[in-house]
Amino acid sequence: MFRVNVATGLVEPARQVPSPNQDQRPDPDDISLLVIHGISLPPGEFGGGWVDALFCNTLDVTAHPYFRGLAGLRVSSHLLIDRAGGLTQYVPLHRRAWHAGVSSWRGRERCNDFAVGVELEGTDSTPYTEPQYRVLAGLTRALLAAYPRLLPDAIVGHCDIAPGRKTDPGPAFDWNAYRRALSPES
């Protein structure tokens, strides 16, 4: 279903929307963490292209009162899965996306250095969709196959690497459904 081109860092068949909010990883071969995020702009609203605009530094901060607080913010993620299961890639996987912020996993700081960030369009309290779980599971299987340092026990939520600061993907994310979808029988 999904193919990761390790040389280019691109996922097929993702829609490509390049973000300027990226840079060189300290070790491009050290992809050893998968971080699952939740995002909606404005909060609780889906669609509209606002996430693309945020990650590409083209968000019109006058379009919604919430956006004013995002002025000047420079963030990105490697990938986004929308509510219908559409996959968009912003940053090649061998590059560092700016998704985790101040973070730590198993004693390692700066998770952006070694993590792939996947955003799910949603909120902490809105159930994610079956197409999102299906696409996330297929994508995860492709990532695990492409990057030998990435292991199933290193798949976490943003809340796990930035506790007290971040809560996503939140209680609405069904980790059991995701893990079931990851199984080869799915």
By annotation, the residues acting in catalysis are 119
pLDDT attached to residue 168? 98
Counting runs of H as helices and runs of E as strands, what totals does the chain give? 4, 12
Q: Which residues pair with 23 in a beta bridge?
A: 96
pLDDT attached to residue 182? 86
Indicate whether this model's pTM tops 0.85.
yes
CATH of domain 3-182: 3.40.80.10
pLDDT attached to residue 1? 85
Contacts of residue 23, defined as CB under 8 A and 6 or more positions apart, other chains included, come to 95, 96
d(CA 25, CA 5): 17
Where helices occur in 40-93 by DSSP H, the ranges are 50-55
Domain boundaries, given as residue ranges, for the chain: 3-182
pLDDT attached to residue 186? 55
Give mean pLDDT in consecutive 10-residue pieces for the chain, a chain of 186 residues: 96 98 96 98 97 98 97 98 98 98 97 98 97 97 98 97 97 95 73
SS3 breakdown of the chain: % helix, strand, coil, rounded to 5? 25, 20, 55
- What single-letter DSSP state applies at residue 20? S
